């Protein structure tokens, strides 16, 4: 049994380069998350100061501001990759403190259309319980491609960060039902 040493080394170098790029992306994600954590810690310190004050009016103003304005400098981006091709993103979720943008980089791979049973049963229906928690929640199909496949969905007035995880699970579960 013979093997070509040059081909093997070339293949190993390609694998190493792919891994290096993946590591670099993860470091960038870590830096972004660390910046978000620092920002949120500062917000918690502001709340701690308000708790220590006897001035209830300042606390009410702060809470109203938190509801009316998205949390600044917070951007949570999550990506769901294809099970068949771990390098191919199928769903990207981007949260800015008030709204969640859901992008489908390859909408034809998911095949979601506004009136399709998969969209209704595996996206809209699982999102209904969130409407009870977030009464002002609004789900809008923002873009469709030329074939009518949904390429972007907006979920507006989403304030509770825990609900982001629920939306993420909805789209993770969706991949089990698409082509």
Work out how many domains the chain is built from and give that number. Answer: 2
Residues 161 and 91 in one domain: yes
Q: Is 145 helix (H, G, I), strand (E, B) or coil?
A: coil
In a domain, 179, yes or no: no
Total number of residues shown for the chain: 179
pLDDT in tens, 15-25: 888 888 888 87
In this prediction, residues 124-140 reach a mean pLDDT of 86
- The contacts of residue 123 (CB under 8 Å, 6+ apart) are 112, 153, 170, 171, 174
The predicted model scores a pTM of 0.59
pLDDT in tens, 111-126: 888 888 888 888 889 9
In a domain, 13, yes or no: yes
> Which of 68, 87, 106 is the endpoint of a domain?
68
Find the domain containing 94 and state its range: 76-174
Beta-carbon-side half-sphere exposure of residue 135 (alpha carbons within 13 Å): 1
In a domain, 11, yes or no: yes
Q: Which comes out higher in pLDDT, residue 102 or 45?
A: 102
In a domain, 109, yes or no: yes
Contact 158, 95 (CB under 8 A): yes
% of the chain residues with pLDDT over 70: 83
> Which of 15, 40, 68 is the endpoint of a domain?
68
> Which of 35, 68, 101 is the endpoint of a domain?
68
Residues 89 and 59 in one domain: no
Residues 96 and 162 in one domain: yes
| First CA to last CA distance, the chain | 41
Q: Hey, what are 80's tokens?
A: 């769901």
């Amino acid at each position: 049994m013979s093997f070509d040493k040059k081909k093997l080394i070339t293949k190993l170098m390609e694998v190493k380069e792919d891994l290096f790029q993946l590591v670099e992306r993860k470091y960038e994600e870590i830096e972004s998350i660390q910046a978000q954590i620092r920002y949120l810690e500062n917000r918690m310190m502001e709340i701690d100061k308000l708790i220590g004050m006897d001035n209830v009016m300042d606390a009410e103003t702060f809470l109203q501001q938190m509801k009316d304005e998205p949390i600044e400098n917070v951007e949570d981006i999550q990506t769901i990759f294809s099970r068949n091709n771990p390098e191919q993103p199928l769903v990207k979720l981007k949260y800015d403190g008030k709204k969640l943008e859901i992008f489908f980089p390859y909408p034809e791979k998911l095949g979601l259309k506004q009136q399709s049973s998969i969209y209704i049963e595996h996206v809209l229906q699982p999102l209904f319980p969130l409407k009870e928690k977030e009464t002002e929640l609004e789900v809008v199909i923002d873009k469709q491609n030329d074939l009518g496949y949904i390429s972007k969905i907006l979920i507006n007035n989403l304030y509770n960060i825990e609900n982001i995880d629920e939306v993420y699970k909805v789209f993770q579960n969706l991949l089990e039902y698409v082509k």
